[in-house]
Structure 1
Amino acid sequence: MNYGPDPKAIYPNEAIKSVCFIKNVITRKNITVGDYTYYDDANGPENFEQHVTHHYEFLGDQLIIGKFCAIASGIEFVMNGANHRMNSITTYPFNIMGHGWEKATPELSDLPFKGDTIVGNDVWIGQSVTVMPGVKIGNGAIVAANSVVTKDVPAYHIVGGNPAKIIKPRFSAEKISQLEELKWWDWSAEKIFNQLTELTKIIK
Structure 2
Amino acid sequence: MPFPSPNQSHPIKLQDGTSHRGTVFLKAVLDHPRIEVGDYTYMSAHQPLEQPADIAQRLAPYLWDFAPERLIIGKFCQIAHGVQFITASANHRMDGLSTFPFLVFGGGWEGRASRPESGPDTVVGNDVWFGTGAMVMPGVTIGDGAIIGAGAVVTKDVAPYTVVGGNPAQFIKRRLSDTDAQRMQSLAWWDWPIDHITAHEAEICGTDMDRLEQVSPK
TM-score (norm 2): 0.84
Alpha-carbon distance, 1:48 to partner: 2.4
1:10 equivalent in structure 2: 9
Answer with 47-56 or 18-27: which moved more: 47-56
Q: After the TM superposition, which residues 121-136 of structure 1 pair with which residues of structure 2 at under 5 Å, given as runs? A: 121-136=126-141
- SS, match of residue 8 in structure 2: coil
- Name the aligned partner's letter for residue 61 of structure 2: T
Alpha-carbon distance, 1:147 to partner: 0.5
1:183 equivalent in structure 2: 188
- Name the aligned partner's letter for residue 4 of structure 1: F
Following the alignment from structure 1 to structure 2, what is the Cα–Cα distance between the partners of residues 12 and 178? 30
Q: Quick one: which of 106, 109, 113 aligns to 1:106?
A: 113
Aligned residues: 200
2:36 equivalent in structure 1: 32
Distance 1:102 1:179, change over 3 A: closer
Q: Which runs of 5+ in 1 are unaligned?
A: none
Answer with 137-146 or 13-22: which moved more: 13-22
- SS, match of residue 202 in structure 2: helix
Following the alignment from structure 2 to structure 1, what is the Cα–Cα distance between the partners of residues 120 and 175? 27
Following the alignment from structure 1 to structure 2, what is the Cα–Cα distance between the partners of residues 93 and 14? 46
**Higher RCO, 1 vs 2 (CA within 8 Å, ≥6 residues apart):** 1
Q: Quick one: which of 43, 47, 57 aligns to 2:47?
A: 43
TM-score (norm 1): 0.90
Distance 1:176 1:107, change over 3 A: same
Computed over aligned residues only, the root mean square deviation of the Cα atoms, in angstroms, reads: 2.2
Equivalent pairs: percent with the same residue?
41
1:75 equivalent in structure 2: 83
Alpha-carbon distance, 1:173 to partner: 1.3
Q: Which runs of 5+ in 2 are unaligned?
A: 15-19, 210-218
Distance 1:8 1:59, change over 3 A: closer
Following the alignment from structure 2 to structure 1, what is the Cα–Cα distance between the partners of residues 89 and 113? 13
Following the alignment from structure 1 to structure 2, what is the Cα–Cα distance between the partners of residues 121 and 103? 36
